[in-house]
Chain A
Amino acid sequence: ILNVEQSPQSLHVQEGDSTNFTCSFPSSNFYALHWYRWETAKSPEALFVMTLNGDEKKKGRISATLNTKEGYSYLYIKGSQPEDSATYLCATNTGNQFYFGTGTSLTVIP
Protein backbone atom coordinates (compact mmCIF):
# COMPACT_ATOMS: atom_id res chain seq x y z
CA ILE A 1 0.00 0.00 0.00
CA LEU A 2 1.34 3.44 -0.93
CA ASN A 3 0.78 6.43 1.34
CA VAL A 4 -0.39 9.36 -0.77
CA GLU A 5 -0.94 12.58 1.15
CA GLN A 6 -2.58 15.77 -0.02
CA SER A 7 -2.54 19.18 1.60
CA PRO A 8 -4.35 21.23 2.51
CA GLN A 9 -7.50 19.19 3.10
CA SER A 10 -9.66 22.16 2.12
CA LEU A 11 -9.15 25.63 0.80
CA HIS A 12 -11.35 28.69 0.32
CA VAL A 13 -10.14 31.40 -2.05
CA GLN A 14 -11.62 34.53 -3.56
CA GLU A 15 -12.44 34.64 -7.25
CA GLY A 16 -9.36 35.82 -9.12
CA ASP A 17 -6.86 34.51 -6.56
CA SER A 18 -4.22 32.03 -7.60
CA THR A 19 -3.73 28.96 -5.47
CA ASN A 20 -1.77 25.75 -5.23
CA PHE A 21 -1.86 22.48 -3.38
CA THR A 22 0.46 19.57 -2.79
CA CYS A 23 0.50 15.83 -3.32
CA SER A 24 3.20 13.80 -1.55
CA PHE A 25 4.01 10.21 -2.42
CA PRO A 26 6.77 7.62 -1.92
CA SER A 27 9.66 8.43 -4.25
CA SER A 28 10.91 4.86 -4.58
CA ASN A 29 9.64 2.66 -7.45
CA PHE A 30 7.80 5.57 -9.03
CA TYR A 31 5.70 4.92 -12.14
CA ALA A 32 3.24 7.76 -12.67
CA LEU A 33 1.37 10.54 -10.90
CA HIS A 34 -2.20 11.41 -11.82
CA TRP A 35 -4.31 14.47 -10.98
CA TYR A 36 -8.10 14.32 -11.11
CA ARG A 37 -10.79 16.94 -10.72
CA TRP A 38 -13.94 15.77 -8.91
CA GLU A 39 -17.00 17.97 -8.92
CA THR A 40 -19.84 17.32 -6.49
CA ALA A 41 -22.34 14.72 -7.75
CA LYS A 42 -20.07 13.84 -10.67
CA SER A 43 -17.24 11.37 -11.30
CA PRO A 44 -13.53 12.16 -11.11
CA GLU A 45 -12.11 13.40 -14.40
CA ALA A 46 -8.46 13.06 -15.37
CA LEU A 47 -6.53 16.33 -15.51
CA PHE A 48 -2.91 15.28 -15.88
CA VAL A 49 -0.77 12.17 -16.06
CA MET A 50 2.92 12.74 -15.35
CA THR A 51 5.66 10.15 -15.52
CA LEU A 52 9.02 11.94 -15.66
CA ASN A 53 10.86 13.92 -13.02
CA GLY A 54 10.54 17.61 -13.85
CA ASP A 55 7.37 17.10 -15.90
CA GLU A 56 5.19 20.16 -16.17
CA LYS A 57 1.69 19.97 -17.62
CA LYS A 58 -0.79 22.75 -18.33
CA LYS A 59 -4.46 22.88 -19.25
CA GLY A 60 -5.87 26.38 -19.44
CA ARG A 61 -5.39 28.06 -16.05
CA ILE A 62 -4.41 24.81 -14.32
CA SER A 63 -0.88 23.46 -14.30
CA ALA A 64 1.06 20.80 -12.44
CA THR A 65 4.68 19.98 -11.70
CA LEU A 66 6.34 16.76 -10.63
CA ASN A 67 9.40 16.01 -8.51
CA THR A 68 9.88 12.24 -8.35
CA LYS A 69 13.19 12.40 -6.47
CA GLU A 70 11.63 14.07 -3.43
CA GLY A 71 8.15 12.62 -3.97
CA TYR A 72 5.84 15.56 -4.50
CA SER A 73 3.66 17.23 -7.10
CA TYR A 74 2.09 20.67 -7.07
CA LEU A 75 -1.16 21.67 -8.73
CA TYR A 76 -1.55 25.37 -9.51
CA ILE A 77 -4.70 27.26 -10.45
CA LYS A 78 -4.20 30.76 -11.79
CA GLY A 79 -6.99 33.30 -11.40
CA SER A 80 -9.47 30.94 -9.71
CA GLN A 81 -13.06 31.00 -10.94
CA PRO A 82 -16.20 29.67 -9.18
CA GLU A 83 -16.32 26.82 -11.71
CA ASP A 84 -12.95 25.64 -10.39
CA SER A 85 -14.67 24.64 -7.14
CA ALA A 86 -14.14 20.89 -6.81
CA THR A 87 -12.08 18.29 -5.02
CA TYR A 88 -8.69 17.69 -6.60
CA LEU A 89 -7.32 14.17 -6.22
CA CYS A 90 -3.88 12.84 -6.90
CA ALA A 91 -2.95 9.18 -7.34
CA THR A 92 0.15 7.14 -7.91
CA ASN A 93 0.70 3.47 -8.68
CA THR A 94 2.82 0.50 -7.91
CA GLY A 95 2.46 -1.62 -11.00
CA ASN A 96 -1.23 -2.24 -11.54
CA GLN A 97 -2.50 -0.80 -8.27
CA PHE A 98 -3.33 2.88 -7.98
CA TYR A 99 -3.50 4.66 -4.63
CA PHE A 100 -5.39 7.90 -4.19
CA GLY A 101 -4.95 10.71 -1.74
CA THR A 102 -7.97 12.00 0.15
CA GLY A 103 -8.09 15.14 -1.98
CA THR A 104 -8.03 18.90 -1.56
CA SER A 105 -11.47 20.50 -1.56
CA LEU A 106 -11.35 23.90 -3.24
CA THR A 107 -14.11 26.47 -2.88
CA VAL A 108 -13.87 29.64 -4.95
CA ILE A 109 -15.93 32.47 -3.49
CA PRO A 110 -17.42 34.86 -6.07
Chain B
Amino acid sequence: NAGVTQTPKFQVLKTGQSMTLQCAQDMNHEYMSWYRQDPGMGLRLIHYSVGAGITDQGEVPNGYNVSRSTTEDFPLRLLSAAPSQTSVYFCASSKQTGTGSYGYTFGSGTRLTVV
Protein backbone atom coordinates (compact mmCIF):
# COMPACT_ATOMS: atom_id res chain seq x y z
CA ASN B 1 0.00 0.00 0.00
CA ALA B 2 1.92 3.05 -1.29
CA GLY B 3 -0.44 5.73 0.07
CA VAL B 4 0.01 9.08 -1.68
CA THR B 5 2.82 9.29 -4.23
CA GLN B 6 4.11 12.64 -5.43
CA THR B 7 6.58 13.24 -8.22
CA PRO B 8 9.02 14.82 -8.70
CA LYS B 9 10.56 15.43 -5.26
CA PHE B 10 12.60 18.39 -6.46
CA GLN B 11 12.28 20.68 -9.47
CA VAL B 12 13.90 23.87 -10.69
CA LEU B 13 12.03 25.89 -13.31
CA LYS B 14 12.77 29.05 -15.19
CA THR B 15 10.25 31.87 -15.04
CA GLY B 16 7.58 31.31 -17.66
CA GLN B 17 8.04 27.55 -17.95
CA SER B 18 5.14 25.21 -17.31
CA MET B 19 5.13 21.88 -15.56
CA THR B 20 2.88 19.31 -13.94
CA LEU B 21 3.26 17.97 -10.42
CA GLN B 22 1.94 14.45 -10.23
CA CYS B 23 -0.08 12.98 -7.37
CA ALA B 24 -1.49 9.47 -7.16
CA GLN B 25 -3.16 7.58 -4.33
CA ASP B 26 -4.08 3.92 -4.08
CA MET B 27 -6.47 4.09 -1.11
CA ASN B 28 -9.62 4.76 -3.13
CA HIS B 29 -9.98 8.14 -1.43
CA GLU B 30 -12.61 10.40 -2.93
CA TYR B 31 -11.11 13.64 -1.62
CA MET B 32 -7.77 14.94 -2.90
CA SER B 33 -6.14 18.31 -2.48
CA TRP B 34 -3.02 20.36 -3.13
CA TYR B 35 -1.34 22.59 -0.57
CA ARG B 36 1.65 24.86 -0.68
CA GLN B 37 3.82 25.44 2.34
CA ASP B 38 5.71 28.70 2.73
CA PRO B 39 7.72 29.87 5.75
CA GLY B 40 5.51 31.53 8.34
CA MET B 41 2.38 30.90 6.28
CA GLY B 42 1.47 27.33 7.13
CA LEU B 43 -0.21 25.03 4.63
CA ARG B 44 -2.50 26.86 2.20
CA LEU B 45 -5.05 25.10 0.04
CA ILE B 46 -4.59 25.57 -3.72
CA HIS B 47 -7.23 23.29 -5.27
CA TYR B 48 -9.22 20.31 -4.16
CA SER B 49 -11.43 17.59 -5.59
CA VAL B 50 -14.29 15.67 -4.02
CA GLY B 51 -14.34 12.99 -6.69
CA ALA B 52 -13.46 12.16 -10.28
CA GLY B 53 -14.55 14.95 -12.60
CA ILE B 54 -15.07 17.47 -9.80
CA THR B 55 -12.56 20.15 -8.80
CA ASP B 56 -12.77 23.45 -6.98
CA GLN B 57 -10.55 26.32 -5.93
CA GLY B 58 -9.01 26.72 -2.54
CA GLU B 59 -7.43 29.72 -0.85
CA VAL B 60 -4.61 30.40 -3.37
CA PRO B 61 -5.61 29.01 -6.81
CA ASN B 62 -4.15 31.66 -9.13
CA GLY B 63 -1.52 30.34 -11.52
CA TYR B 64 -2.48 26.70 -11.03
CA ASN B 65 -4.82 24.29 -12.82
CA VAL B 66 -6.01 20.86 -11.79
CA SER B 67 -8.04 18.03 -13.25
CA ARG B 68 -9.38 14.79 -11.82
CA SER B 69 -10.05 12.26 -14.58
CA THR B 70 -9.70 9.25 -12.28
CA THR B 71 -10.15 8.62 -8.56
CA GLU B 72 -6.43 7.84 -8.23
CA ASP B 73 -4.76 10.83 -9.91
CA PHE B 74 -4.85 14.56 -9.20
CA PRO B 75 -2.13 16.44 -11.13
CA LEU B 76 -1.33 20.09 -10.46
CA ARG B 77 -0.28 22.22 -13.43
CA LEU B 78 1.71 25.39 -13.22
CA LEU B 79 0.79 27.35 -16.32
CA SER B 80 3.61 29.92 -16.43
CA ALA B 81 5.94 29.60 -13.46
CA ALA B 82 6.74 32.69 -11.41
CA PRO B 83 9.27 33.17 -8.59
CA SER B 84 6.31 33.61 -6.21
CA GLN B 85 5.47 29.97 -6.83
CA THR B 86 8.71 28.82 -5.23
CA SER B 87 7.41 26.64 -2.43
CA VAL B 88 6.99 23.13 -1.13
CA TYR B 89 3.88 21.48 -2.52
CA PHE B 90 1.97 18.72 -0.77
CA CYS B 91 -0.74 16.51 -2.16
CA ALA B 92 -3.13 15.02 0.39
CA SER B 93 -6.09 12.68 0.23
CA SER B 94 -8.89 11.72 2.57
CA LYS B 95 -11.53 9.06 2.77
CA GLN B 96 -14.42 11.48 2.77
CA THR B 97 -15.61 14.98 2.10
CA GLY B 98 -17.66 17.63 3.85
CA THR B 99 -17.68 16.72 7.53
CA GLY B 100 -13.91 16.37 7.99
CA SER B 101 -14.30 13.20 10.02
CA TYR B 102 -11.25 11.53 8.50
CA GLY B 103 -7.67 12.75 8.56
CA TYR B 104 -5.53 13.47 5.58
CA THR B 105 -2.81 11.22 4.19
CA PHE B 106 -0.05 13.40 2.79
CA GLY B 107 2.43 12.80 0.00
CA SER B 108 6.13 13.36 0.57
CA GLY B 109 6.14 16.79 -1.01
CA THR B 110 7.69 18.50 -4.04
CA ARG B 111 10.22 21.27 -3.49
CA LEU B 112 9.88 23.69 -6.41
CA THR B 113 12.23 26.55 -7.12
CA VAL B 114 11.45 29.08 -9.83
CA VAL B 115 14.41 31.16 -10.96
Contact = CB atoms under 8 A, between A and B. Distances in A.
A84 B56 CA distance: 36
Contacts of A99: 45, 59
Nearest to A42: B108
A91 B44 CA distance: 11
B47 to A, nearest CB: 10
Contacts of A70: none
Contacts of B109: 43
Given A46-B105, A97-B58, A98-B104, A32 B42 contact: no
Contacts of B48: 96-97
Interface string B49-82: 0100000101100000000000000000000000
Given A43-B90, A43-B108, A51 B100 contact: yes
Interface of B: 31, 33, 35, 40-45, 48, 50, 56, 58-59, 90, 97-109
Nearest to A44: B106
B64 to A, nearest CB: 15
Q: How large is the interface on A (under 10, 10 to 19, 20 to 34, 35 or more residues)?
A: 20 to 34
Given A36-B104, A89-B42, A96-B97, 10 more contacts: A31-B98, A31-B100, A32-B99, A43-B107, A43-B109, A49-B100, A91-B43, A95-B98, A96-B56, A100-B42
A65 interface: no
Nearest to A100: B43
A11 B99 CA distance: 32
8 contacts: A31-B100, A44-B90, A93-B100, A97-B45, A98-B33, A98-B104, A99-B59, A103-B42
Contacts of A98: 33, 45, 100, 104
